[in-house]
Amino acid sequence: MTETGELTIRRVHHGSRELLFDCMTKPEHLAHFWGPAGTTTPVENIVVDLRPGGAFETTMVGEDGGTYTMRAVYAEVRRPELLVWIEPEVEGGMRTEITFHDLGDGRTEVITHQTNVPAAYLSAEARAGFATSLDRFDAYLASLPV
C-alpha cells in the first residue's frame, strides 16, 4: 500500500460563491482553467453529472500531447457551499472536499481539503502545479463580466 496524507489549500477569489461553485461544476467554465499551467482541458473532455453518485471526469492534455484523466464520483453536492468527490482509481480512494465561504465583500474563500492523497501528489512539484491551476482560475474569474 502506498503512503498517503492530507492536503488543505485555502484561497480567496473575487466572485460570489454561487459563481465560483458554477465555475467548478460546469464544463464550459472548467475548460478555461482546469489543470496546471501547460495543460488544456477541452470542454469535450469533461463530464459532470452533478449529483451524489454522478460522474466527474476530466482529461487534461499536456503540451507534449500526453493525456491525464481524472475519474471521480460525487459524494456530496450542496450548491453553493460544498462539493465532495472521491477518485476511486487512486489507491485508497482520494477524497476532495471543497467548501465555499462568502466573505461578505464580493469575495469567496475556497477551502480544498483532500484525504488519502498519494505521496506523489504531496510533492512540492505537484503542489506548485495545483497553485498554477488556482492562478488560472483567478485569471478566468477576472475575465468574466461583473
SS3 (DSSP) at 119? helix
The answer to whether residues 127 and 141 touch, using CB atoms and an 8 Å cutoff, is no
Residue with cell 487534461: 60
Is the pLDDT at 73 greater than 90, yes or no? yes
Mean pLDDT of 63-86: 97
- On the question of pLDDT at 1 being above 60, the answer is no
- Say if residues 8 and 95 touch (Cβ distance below 8 Å): no
pLDDT on residue 2: 58
Give the integer Cα–Cα distance in Å for 21 and 130: 18
Which domains can be identified in the chain, with CATH numbers? 4-37+75-143 (3.30.530.20)
Q: Which residue has the higher pLDDT, 120 or 58?
A: 58
Mean pLDDT in the chain? 94
